[in-house]
Structure 1
């Protein structure tokens, strides 16, 4: 059944409209006396270029510009008797309708740069093949305080948009399409900080700790083919692997450090992002550089040293962090890579000695196979579950 032929459920309608109505009430408090009821203010989303939902890769992993400012990650479980193939195909149809602006459950909002990225958890991946990328569960690490309902999950819906109203509305539409075949496990919203130029044509945002985040990563097409996209087998080629970690951060204790102490934790200057060993914001740290008295310029437990991919012996992650307010101040960390060991080996080395980790507590954790791209002829998930 086509999306437009379905009647939105009462739950989905209430979930979606709640945020929109609240925003409308807040908009009514503006002090700009020139705004008239008969002259609606155009949405910023109406001026943003749409992002194609179809193609070799799913949208929302890479974009031709900076990632959107707002994200909602919804993690759900499938019923044990639910066939993944038909559900994924229907979700793909809904994604196309939402991003095209033709789904009435958008409630009149222009889709702007809305993207939806769908991933499968290890349990579902194993039903398609125990040796497939993404079939292995994410191991447990130190500094975790994770309730059973916030670990893992079968289905990821990563919804991004510059307009903060769009992610919850799109999530309501997708969950309405899925119906009682899925049960929501946990969700997390987040926002990106102000973008800072880090290289020609490339920016990165500041995180909730004040530092520029996501400087290092696979940025060129060649780097992404090497470290980001799965080359095979054919059923997953063009997909990638995602890791999500929600972390509470002790902002009070970190803010009590001097700027020099904060910079020693990260191994970069807070204002510019330049490594403590010198260079530019985009240049890698010189880990062997020392002061005249023999001290490393980048401390031995600095985050940029402990997480350095060359030292760890793994590829680069495409990393994104989103600041969160609920359930506590912190970050939602997301990494994309074509080998789960890229993440697990890095975090294992950080666990041993990383000056940043004592300020964090992980409260949710999951990994997913991000499915390859799709189109009308090849529905979402069809290569895996045909």
Structure 2
């Protein structure tokens, strides 16, 4: 579904909004990860989902005029639950297993890893988003904020946008309903129509990366900065030719480039739908900058991301410029198509 900036986005559907719709992600984001105060059972988790879904729909419908006084515009709110809550519903459900610790997680604060609830708000109006996530979280008494992050996207259509390093990102993703069904949406069971979201906040050493010669930067990415085209030739959206070699027998797409390391053919995994946002956090004078990428991806199983990240840690030179500072995975539950509450499929 294509929507112009500011145009209303339908909240109801087989899938929640804020993933494949609108097809061009909104400019601004606030992602909030929260915890519940106690060990919930299945009934309690369903109550939480009901409350979150109702609160989210009231703001996206424009009913809560104190939260969205100028109307909802293109506001969307996406709700997910972490592994502890998924396991309380049913340990066999997708999303019941937590992300493993990756080799690149050495600096990751345990307090910024995992979490029980995901509330992600997106919209053209950045001014309302913090109030929106706070309002939705308040629907769950005792829930506490674990961490949150604002983000902003550059101009562009669809999922492709320049990342903080200045290169095009979000190119190799599923397109159209057939590819989304094959790669993103959980196909059956109580979670059918949902997906697994992985959220990774990555601090990027932009200054050190840009200190490299331009040719070296292109080699690290595997694409040309100017137009996003693969080093193997073609246009921005053309497939990367991993077999192309120079007359000297060297691979045109370098062995440790991001384009090669992240290519699904090496992991045998499905495609991920990516929805990334740049961020810049204030820091004390004289301390290290905190700028980077709020990486968000959706896939039908957690293993798709795990296998990809493990390969990146092993063979991707780009990872030497990225530090994970927050990390979590969530089951984004199916959307609402009737007046039944969010999460009713788990009853």
Q: 1:261 aligns with which of 196, 216, 226?
A: 216
**CA distance in structure 1 between the aligned counterparts of 2:258 and 2:150, rounded to whole angstroms:** 25
Counterpart of 1:156 in structure 2 is 118
2:257 pairs, out of 295, 299, 302, with 302
- CA shift digits 1:159-216 (9 cap, x unpaired): 1001111211211211222232x11111111111221x6xxxx461111100011011
Partner residue, 1:381: 343
Residue of structure 2 equivalent to 1:292 = 247
CA distance in 2, matches of 1:240, 1:136: 14
RMSD (Å) for aligned C-alpha atoms: 1.7
Aligned partners of 2:300 and 2:55: how far apart in 1? 27
1:342 partner SS: helix
Name the residue aligned to 1:87.
Answer: 48
Structure 2 unaligned spans of 5+: 283-289
Secondary structure of 1:59's aligned partner: coil
Instruction: State the distance in 1 between where 2:22 and 2:200 align.
Output: 25
CA distance in 2, matches of 1:71, 1:179: 24
Matched, 1:208 2:168: no
**Mapping of 1:1-386 within 5 angstroms?**
48-80=6-38, 82=40, 83-106=44-67, 108-144=69-105, 145-180=107-142, 182-195=143-156, 202=158, 204-233=160-189, 235-326=190-281, 328-384=290-346, 386=347
**Greater shift after overlay, 147-156 or 76-85?**
76-85
3-state SS, counterpart of residue 189 of structure 1:
strand
Report the Cα distance in structure 2 between the residues aligned to 1:179 and 1:304, rounded to whole angstroms.
45
Question: 1:211-251: CA deviations, max 9, x gaps?
Answer: 01101111111100100000121x10000000011111111
In the alignment, is the contact (CA less than 8 A) between 2:65 and 2:71 conserved in 1?
no
d(CA) in 1 for partners of 2:8, 2:132? 15
Please say if residues 77 and 184 of structure 1, whose CA atoms lie closer than 8 Å, have aligned partners that are also in contact.
yes
**Larger of the two Rg values belongs to structure:** 1
1:352–1:107 CA distance, 2 compared to 1 (3 A)? closer
- Structure 2 counterpart SS, 1:84: helix
Compared CA separation, residues 158 and 126, structure 1 to 2 (3 A): same
In 2, are the aligned partners of 1:240 and 1:338 still within 8 Å (CA)? yes
Alpha-carbon offset, residue 81 of structure 1: 5.1
Deviation at 1:78, TM superposition (A): 1.2
TM-score, normalising length from structure 1?
0.84
Q: Structure 1: which 4+ aligned runs deviate by more than 3 Å?
A: none
Distance 2:123 2:248 in 1: 50
1:114 touches 1:166 (CA, 8 Å); kept in 2?
no
